[in-house]
Structure 1
């Protein structure tokens, strides 16, 4: 396929200034897209999840805003164009794109199939491409009518998964699936999940489907019933006195996945619940430095670690696992034309637990 035949702009919802997201003033306008490479695909976007990282990017917390910042990294849609080097994707396929859309494809991590660790990885929501005709240009996300990028990072969506329910799996799902798999969630394991939100509610469902017992920690009693609906075996209502909250539960959990990022996190108190050689796994970036009890870590033989997204192979595995075990994220659908209202609702904490934007004129259904 010739470069000349590929569109040079896609209509997108754009942030120009860090205050745009606060004011609810993303603008709909044409945006120059990635220069075409023969390993690329074009995707007609039908659905895109709304994630906290989109807000962080639009607020300038990660990097300075691009002149035209297009976020959205839980993308589902139909392939409309493929390059001559694309082998595993065809026009008409339904695919998903998560938080990573490229890498160098040459480093040890890319060669091993762990592209998420590539030192030149390209985040989908506004980061430089490291190679090809697009080298030095910046990625754009799925708050748009169409998306373009390397087919290697497009994940097939099983037929039994609804597009709106598949979208959150591409980031929220991948972010929790990767550590659940790595740390061995399964029969006989007791797993803690801190926070019931976009990530936490998927973590509970996945851990249960893997055969583990799950204890949820969430602020107050508000989400006890919902945690039980998701499959949680136990629920700890947290307060400002974390030490008291977990008293009597020492050495009860094999590992803990922390999905929240409050101003301060009582990690040492929560880590008393870990069994020897247990791990407290951070998925959110906490603004303030953590105060950790090294005595507790040494005596308890416990540790703390971070985790991020999964590889394309893990994402494919997750989609198949979700289809097999009927994992269905809790979503609220909203027309992408109403993206500014959706973002206001998200910031007000209204969704349970993920807003998915729908391009109805591209075939998405509300």
Structure 2
């Protein structure tokens, strides 16, 4: 018997019934010379999981095993692995499972923007196998896209950093967040709350922006120096005119964001960077004259090198993101999908108790 013969996971079998995922067995991808097998300990729940499971991002091959904020232990190492990873190591895996590793973007540390990238789930490999994610007992992945987890970061807190944390850290890092900078996080949710924590740890003066003041107390506890409630402060764009160096947009939707007003609070030469990837039907509307002196961009994932820097920062600063744990099972996945759909989480879910759910398997 080859090891492991089959994996088990909690899978979406029908986009129309996406909240009622079912436990299934499935074939893993063919084991490559530089692949490793990771026995999963826990997996964060990302907004992308909801978009893919619900069909918001199109029809995806079934069974659909979502989850790309994975932490677990290595149980098998390919014969040509070169990273030094070994059986027993605790590693993390984010939203990317492979890239071509030879194009200009890959060679310049931008592998997350590789046009031939394979995402951790829902993407076909060259042989047609569709990648499967972390709501499962094991994941098989190229060694290059895993990272060691520092000992002092608990697994359930490390998991959401693999995608959500990295997604906000990358634009902060690439756009000079640090001492002497005024940085805003717009949207204080699963990713946004990590943005506040990280921007503060990087030394910036931090502004939290939300529609109402309902999250003001949380934002201040997270480390924000200022709070802007755009629906409650009609003159907010005048009060903070020319104030900020960087705004990172972490809202799940861009429909309610006034991109014709937001640039007014940015200093000349400053930037607005969005990490929002909403439903495919959404369209960004703005008037070009509003962008005079200001740049606006969209950021996808961070690189593996940036993920290592993020974990180093979290470890050294002892940053604690806000996480609620839910045991993985059909019931547990239904619960997190239902509550994510309602926005009922402050501020991140991690699925745990994998050993209990999958103990009868491999």
Contact 2:328 2:351 in 1 (8 A): yes
> Aligned to 2:25, what secondary structure does the other structure show?
strand
Give the aligned partner of residue 80 of structure 1.
Answer: 75
Q: CA deviation at 1:248?
A: 1.9
TM-score (structure 1 length as normaliser): 0.92
Kindly indicate whether residue 291 of structure 2 is the aligned counterpart of residue 294 of structure 1. Answer: no
Give unpaired runs (5+ residues) of structure 1: none
Q: Pick 1 or 2: higher relative contact order, CA cutoff 8 A, min separation 6.
A: 2
CA distance in 1, matches of 2:312, 2:258: 36
1:200-279 correspondence to structure 2 within 5 Å: 200-239=192-231, 244-260=235-251, 261-279=253-271
RMSD: 1.7
1:128-147 correspondence to structure 2 within 5 Å: 128-130=124-126, 135-147=127-139
CA distance in 1, matches of 2:240, 2:339: 36
Give the aligned partner of residue 27 of structure 2.
Answer: 32
Q: CA deviation at 1:360?
A: 4.2
Further displaced range: 288-297 or 66-75: 288-297
Deviations 1:284-336 (A, max 9, x none): 135532222322222xx101100011111111111111101112110000100
Contact 1:246 1:273 in 2 (8 A): yes
Q: CA deviation at 1:342?
A: 2.1
CA distance in 1, matches of 2:287, 2:222: 32
Deviations 1:73-104 (A, max 9, x none): 00000111111011321000000100001011
CA distance in 2, matches of 1:351, 1:75: 19
Given candidates 296, 304, 319, the residue that maps to 1:327 is 319
CA distance in 2, matches of 1:353, 1:106: 37
- Matched residue count: 352
Kindly indicate whether residue 47 of structure 2 is the aligned counterpart of residue 47 of structure 1. Answer: no
Give the aligned partner of residue 359 of structure 1.
Answer: 353
CA distance in 2, matches of 1:242, 1:224: 13
CA distance in 1, matches of 2:284, 2:334: 34
Give the aligned partner of residue 10 of structure 1.
Answer: 7
Give the aligned partner of residue 177 of structure 1.
Answer: 169
Q: CA deviation at 1:347?
A: 1.8
Q: CA deviation at 1:47?
A: 0.6
CA distance in 2, matches of 1:227, 1:150: 38
Give the aligned partner of residue 98 of structure 1.
Answer: 94
CA distance in 1, matches of 2:283, 2:235: 22
Given candidates 110, 113, 122, the residue that maps to 2:106 is 110
User: Taking structure 1 as reference, are residues 76 and 363 closer, same or farther at Cα in structure 2, changes over 3 Å only?
Assistant: farther
Contact 2:184 2:247 in 1 (8 A): yes
Give unpaired runs (5+ residues) of structure 2: none
Contact 2:254 2:284 in 1 (8 A): no
Give the aligned partner of residue 335 of structure 2.
Answer: 341
Q: CA deviation at 1:6?
A: 3.3
> Aligned to 2:43, what secondary structure does the other structure show?
strand
CA distance in 2, matches of 1:18, 1:275: 44
Give the aligned partner of residue 141 of structure 2.
Answer: 149
CA distance in 2, matches of 1:105, 1:297: 35
User: Taking structure 1 as reference, are residues 229 and 25 closer, same or farther at Cα in structure 2, changes over 3 Å only?
Assistant: same
Query: Segments of 4+ in structure 1 off by > 6 A?
Result: none
